[in-house]
Structure 1
Amino acid sequence: MSNAVIAVVGPTASGKSDLAVEIAKKFKGEIISADSRQIYKGLNIGTGKIKGRWVSKNGKKIFLYKGVPHYLIDEISPKKDSSAGEFKKRAEEIIDDIRARGLLPIVVGGTNFWIDALLRGTILPDVSPNKKLRRALERKNAADLFRMLKKLDPRRAKSIDPKNPRRLVRAIEIARALGRVPRAKKALTYRTFWIGIGLPTSVLKANLKKRTARMIVQGLLTETKSLAAKQISKKRLRTLGFEYALSLDVMQGKLEKKKFASALAARDLRYAKKQLAWLKKNPDIRWVKIKDDALRAVRAFLKS
């Protein structure tokens, strides 16, 4: 097995988490979550976080889902920032630990930039947070931040989510420090087998619609109120995903409650399309539609 790693990728609501668990059970693996929001405590409904539980094992606390250990999930306060660099460092340590115990590391996500940083050799710029600059930028809306980035680094502006203030601020911070965000370089550490879940568009749309309805029934608005009650600012909540931003809009009377579900579904579909567009650029992904195809492909890879 040596330096083999399995990556399970795909758009929102494609079934990545359950497929990763199937692979883990079949091939004696453990799972690393590469999701920039599910790493936060309390962001459960709005991020579609798996319903695992924390258990103590050999003096350590482990997050278990369907009996499989998961790492880098439900770990830090949403008041704190998380970064691709921090994720990469911790994920590499966890992969080493999993391999040292003779098990198979499986990375699932999520946040495609984080996965690429870990497994495709993306070299991340070493730029420390600039608190003064961040305070100034946080007063601006996403549209203004995107215009700033386009002037500073047009190439990065083409690949970033223009509606994500947190990522826009970080990109501007790097561009101001280095002139522009450096291009990715290759320094591959792992022998990675990429599995992508490629659902028909009609199935994906149906899954997204169910996901949206489930979020509302499970209490997305209540979760948002609870997070705000924990002194997480509304500005910060808006950076943690459109689900929380739209919830705040409903709570503040900016969005009619009867339009909440359709607004969520529209944003969900847009996000899924962006995820797919990113993934289609990776020629190493083996696209599958059913679980059995994925398991056969992983078995063949591990034997090679």
Structure 2
Amino acid sequence: MKKQKVVVIVGQTASGKTALSLELAQKIGAEIISADSRQVYLGMDLGSGKVTKEEQAIALHHLLDVADPRKDVFTVADFVEQGSEILDKTLKRAVTPIIVGGTFLYVDALLGKISIPKVAPNEEFRASLETCSNDELFAMLAQKDARRASEIDKYNRVRLVRALEIINTLGSVPEVMPSEKYDVYTIGLSIEKEKLHERIHTRLLQRFDEGMIEEVTRLHEEGVSWERLHRFGLEYRHIAAYLQGTIPNKEALIATLDQDIRSFAKRQMTWLTRDKTIHWYPFDAHEQIIADVEGWLAA
């Protein structure tokens, strides 16, 4: 039996995944599944790089705004459960799904390339890590599972502890396998480092102009704790620190955030280069990408 076809778009932050996904979706009549651990949360828009309402009108988007940041903890298991249902329903309607990530762990898990073990919390193990700093936890994870460490926010203590807990319980790293269920065409967007850094900085300034600080202020006023905002990482962590007075001024905020996003993009590339199934293209080669996808779908 012929496998059903799924398109995936991956790339570093600010590499142009959204622009390509919208153009491709319009061209082939596809629907988009967002594979992003922060875009699932309602009201977390600018800080997560969520598509605008106008962009959502171009193509139907799934798994945006499905969780409440004040109380919900949306896990990779939740993503796989909901994403699998959406994938199956979309394919049954003879519509091509485009998975856009984002959070590469989510992409791999949804495609069945990595198993998501059901590991119960181990309070004794967690207690043994309480005296470790975030840097020490990150170093431990990097030694045990370099691939997971390449994507994780190294300041997100909860995720660091959970990743180590899973490895400790299983006694090994969850295996990465080729996708068995779907015929997948994965597009990787390649961009020169200098150009990427320029785009990161430009986008960052634009989001500040559009109200990213005000977004974080509103989230806190609506009941999202400072601790939770820090856990959401990057933009939310830095802006929360700025609003709490830990970062002295906006110039320092922009500088530290800009550098952290660059470091995150570097770690993302470490994850992506290990996947030999990715078809790499220059980030702006939309015409060639669309032609290749159309040819692959027709084959």
TM over 0.5: yes
CA distance in 2, matches of 1:283, 1:178: 26
Pairing 1:31-180 to 2, within 5 Å after superposition: 31-52=32-53, 65-78=56-69, 79-119=71-111, 121-129=113-121, 141-146=133-138, 149-150=140-141, 154-156=143-145, 159-160=148-149, 161=152, 162-180=154-172
Gaps of 5+ in 2: none
SS at match of 1:68: coil
SS at match of 1:33: strand
Contact 1:28 1:104 in 2 (8 A): yes
Pairing 1:1-304 to 2, within 5 Å after superposition: 3-52=4-53, 65-78=56-69, 79-119=71-111, 121-129=113-121, 141-146=133-138, 149-150=140-141, 154-156=143-145, 159-160=148-149, 161=152, 162-186=154-178, 188-257=180-249, 258-289=251-282, 290-304=285-299
Amino acid at match of 1:299: E
Query: Cα offset for 1:6?
Result: 0.1
Query: Structure 1 residues 134, 38: closer, same or farther in 2, change over 3 A?
Result: farther
Amino acid at match of 2:91: R
- 100-109 or 114-123, which moves further after superposition? 114-123
- 72-81 or 160-169, which moves further after superposition? 160-169
Amino acid at match of 1:77: D
Contact 1:123 1:186 in 2 (8 A): no
Contact 2:13 2:102 in 1 (8 A): yes
Query: Cα offset for 1:178?
Result: 2.7
- 293-302 or 215-224, which moves further after superposition? 215-224
Query: Structure 1 residues 130, 227: closer, same or farther in 2, change over 3 A?
Result: farther
CA distance in 1, matches of 2:256, 2:207: 13
CA distance in 2, matches of 1:127, 1:286: 34
- 28-37 or 233-242, which moves further after superposition? 233-242
Contact 2:186 2:279 in 1 (8 A): yes
SS at match of 2:7: strand
Query: Cα offset for 1:201?
Result: 2.2
Contact 2:147 2:270 in 1 (8 A): no
CA distance in 2, matches of 1:187, 1:219: 40
Q: Which runs of 4+ in 1 moved over 6 A?
A: 131-140
Q: CA RMSD in A?
A: 2.4
Query: Cα offset for 1:132?
Result: 8.4
Q: TM-score, normalised by structure 1?
A: 0.87
SS at match of 1:275: helix
Amino acid at match of 2:60: P
Gaps of 5+ in 1: 54-63
Query: Cα offset for 1:203?
Result: 2.0
Contact 2:155 2:233 in 1 (8 A): no
Contact 1:125 1:181 in 2 (8 A): no
Summarize deviations over 1:192-251 as a string: whole Å, max 9, x none. 001111122222111101111012112222211211112222111111012111112212
CA distance in 2, matches of 1:76, 1:8: 23
- 118-127 or 6-15, which moves further after superposition? 118-127
Contact 2:147 2:271 in 1 (8 A): no
- 112-121 or 129-138, which moves further after superposition? 129-138
SS at match of 2:36: coil
CA distance in 2, matches of 1:172, 1:254: 29
CA distance in 2, matches of 1:288, 1:251: 40
CA distance in 2, matches of 1:186, 1:20: 23
Contact 1:137 1:169 in 2 (8 A): yes
Amino acid at match of 1:242: L
- 130-139 or 71-80, which moves further after superposition? 130-139
SS at match of 2:98: strand
